[in-house]
Each structure stands twice: as C-alpha cells, then as structure tokens.
Amino acid sequence: MSAFSNHNFAGEKALIRVDFNVPLNDKLEITDDTRMRAALPTIRKILADGGRVILMSHLGRPKDGPTDKYSLRHLVKHLGELLPGVKVHFADDCIGEKASTAANALGAGEVLLLENLRFYKEEEKGDRSFAEKLATLGDVYVNDAFGTAHRAHASTAVIAAFFPKSKRMFGLLMEGEVASAEKVLHEAAKPFTAIIGGAKVSDKILIIENLLEKATDIIIGGGMAYTFMKAQGGKIGKSLCEEDRLETANELLKKAAAKGVNIHLPSDSIVADNFSNDANISTAPSNAIPDGWMGLDIGPLAAEEFANVLKRSKTILWNGPMGVFEMPKFQHGTRRVAEAVAEATAAGAFSLVGGGDSVAAVNQFGFADKVSYVSTGGGAMLEYFEGKELPGIAAVKA
Ligand code: AMP
C-alpha cells in the first residue's frame, strides 16, 4: 500500500497541488474537464476519511497579476457538479488572510479551491517565502499534478520541504503516472519498442538518446522521419526537414547500430502536393519523394511493418503521431499504430502513451481504454523519459 492510501486524513487539512489548467472558451466555459476528473479519486479518498481538501492550481499564463480570464472561480460550479453532495468553497486569493480564514472555516468533508497560484510571480520563480505561506494552509501536502512535475515552482516542489516526510506524498494520479513511467524505464519486459513521432527531431533527440539505453526497437515516424531520410541520402521533396540536425540524425543511427537497437524508419509515405486535406495525394518510398511533394503520413507498407514490430513487443512507449493525423487524409498511419498498440496490449504487453498529440490521437481514434496507461503529463512525461529527475517528484521523495 502506498503512503497516500495508508494515510488517514481524518481531521486534517490536505493541501493538494492539482493540475486544473483546463481549456476555457470565450464564454469562460470549460471545454475539456479531463484534468479535473483525473484528480477526483485523490479528493474523494481524503473526503471519505473525514479530511478537509484545499486545492491549489495554476490556470493559463497570467502575465500581470489577477486577471478575471484566468480566475479559478470559473471552475467552482463544475467542481461542485463533479463532487455531488460536497460543499465547494472558493477563496479569491491563494495566500494571506482570505485564504487562511477560508481554510480554517472549512468543515470535515468540504473542499476549498484557492485562486490561481500564478497571480503571484513568486510561484513560477519557486520563491521560498511564497511556498512557506502556502504551506501554512495545510497539515499535509499532496502533490497530484504530474503535468507540472517537471517545474521547480513554489507549489509543485519548493513547498514540500515545509512538511515532514510523513506529511508529504503523491496523490493517486501522480502515483499512477510515476508507477507506469518507472515500469517502462526500469522494469520493461523485452522486446521494448518505443514509438517516437511528431514534427521535430530537435524536440526528441534527448528522449531517443536515453531510450537507446533501454529499448530493443525504436520506431520513428511523423515529420521527424524525413530528417533521418535525408541524412541517409534520401530525396524527401518538400517534406519537413531540419537541415541543422542531419548530422545528429546520423549520429543517433550510428549509436543505435553500435548498441544493437533496431531503428525502424517508414519505408513508404503518403505524399501530398501541399499541406492540406484537399491536396492531391499519392504513395512514394520515403527516400524517393518527388520534387514538390511532401510526406504527411507513413505509407501502408510502413504501417504494416510497424504493426508487426509492435505485435511482438512486450513493452511499448508511444510519444508523437505518425503523420498529420488532424487531417483525415493523413491519419491512417497513426490510427494503424494505435490499433497495433491496442492489439499488443490485449496480448499482454504493457503500453504507455504519453505526450500531448499521441494522447489526443488515441482519444480521437477510441483506443484510450485499450492501452495500459495514458499519461496526463506531456512535457513532464517527455522529460522523465529523457532521463531527467523531475523536481516535483524529487521534492516529495527527498
Ligand atoms: P509534436 O508536438 O512534436 O509531437 O508534433 C505533433 C505534430 O506533428 C502534429 O500536429 C502533427 O500534425 C505534426 N506532424 C506529424 N507528422 C508530420 C509530417 N509528416 N509533416 C508535418 N507535420 C507533421
């Protein structure tokens, strides 16, 4: 049993760092409440114990202090709906008199949502005295915000030091994220295949380098594949290419060969005469794309080759789409890979999907519940797989 599950919160004020950074439309209505729902199991357990819950989060990127557009006030009503029968209060400040009065007035089984942490510039600066002021609000600190675990901010990392070890812990969401990431990084059953896609090689160099130490196979798709193709002497037409990364791409391929890691590049591509769903399309070898055409998805041959690699995998990590899946004409490759990951999972593989666009893709194609774990933390998951220590995790474990 984990520290969190073992802890009895009766009579305690639990100060929880959640990631309620949800998208709002022009009318300030929540358009996707996934992040709020992800924190509910943690909140419910504390309330069930007879504890009091104080929630702190950031919302958006306010530049100049309090701004109505970024107020967490807009989330109160929906939070109440997600927690039927629970009284949800709001304090229009996250520190000081208003916050402490509201925290002290809180009854057992009640929830208090604090105003946006980023209305204070001290939050992102990781200011110690700001963190200390936040810490006075609770008896126990729970970090359940995996999405911001890679930031050394006041509420995500610095604050932990103001609580004794027995009074600082991860919430259930964070525990799940950390456990599944650790399973992949440290206990991966082999063969272990990493699928890396998306637009840019430059964003994914560190993760590929780190995975060269862990994976047996690395599938490279998406726009970044064409930099590798060109580096190998291929013709890529007007496909996406980072000219300044050609050498890096070749070095990664050399390192992989030296380590015996199989790199799978797409043998063919769906090519288009412009970046549009109305473009004329055709299929071409990924290293022989005609002038004036660009690769916007992996081709049917590559999709089957990738699916075969995935079929024999026991551990799968997926970050980044195989093509411009936002456009229907170029989504087949990403969909086929999602399907193959689901098939491998059904056959007993452990699969973790992390990173904004691949998460969006598995959701869009209806595979989210057919993979082992879908991570809520894009940037945080990426940094974790780059081999970095995340400040939010380190501070609780310290
Ligand atoms: P990233 O954020 O680096 O994971 O990149 C995701 C984006 O890469 C998505 O918006 C995709 O549309 C885009 N993408 C994937 N494949 C290609 C491609 N072949 N050419 C251009 N963009 C692509």
CA 274 to mean position of chain CA atoms? 31
**Has 233 been annotated as catalytic?**
no
| Identity of residue 88 | V
* Confidence at residue 332, expressed as pLDDT on a 0 to 100 scale: 98
d(CA 170, CA 145): 9
* Centroid of ligand 1 to alpha carbon of 2 (angstroms): 38
CA distance linking residue 132 with residue 154, whole number of Å: 9
pLDDT of residue 355: 79
pLDDT at 378 (0 to 100): 81
Residue nearest to atom 18 of ligand 1 (CA): 223
β-strand partners of 193 = 217, 316
Question: What is the distance in A from the centroid of ligand 1 to the CA of 176?
Answer: 28
Position in ligand 1 atom list of the atom nearest CA 327: 12
Dist. CA 238 → ligand 1 center (Å): 15
Please state, in angstroms and rounded to a whole number, the distance separating the CA atoms of residues 298 and 270: 6
Whether the Cβ atoms of residue 322 and residue 222 lie closer than 8 Å to each other:
yes
Q: Which of 60, 80, 234, 379 is an active site residue? A: 379
What's the CA-to-centroid distance between 198 and ligand 1, angstroms? 4
Active-site hit among 73, 128, 200, 311: 200
State yes or no: is 356 an active-site residue. Answer: yes
Mean pLDDT, each 10-residue run in order, the chain (398 residues): 91 97 94 92 98 98 94 98 98 98 97 98 98 98 95 98 97 95 95 95 93 97 97 98 96 98 98 98 98 98 98 97 97 97 98 87 93 89 92 95
Catalytic residue list contains 190 = no
Q: Which has the closest alpha carbon to 56: 149, 140, 155, 131?
A: 155
Q: Is-above-0.85 flag for pTM?
A: yes
DSSP string, 357-381: HHHHHHHHTT-GGGSSEE-S-HHHH
Question: CB under 6 Å to ligand 1: residues?
Answer: 198-200, 203, 222-223, 240, 295-296, 320-321, 323-324, 326, 355, 357
CB atoms within 10 A of CB 370: 16
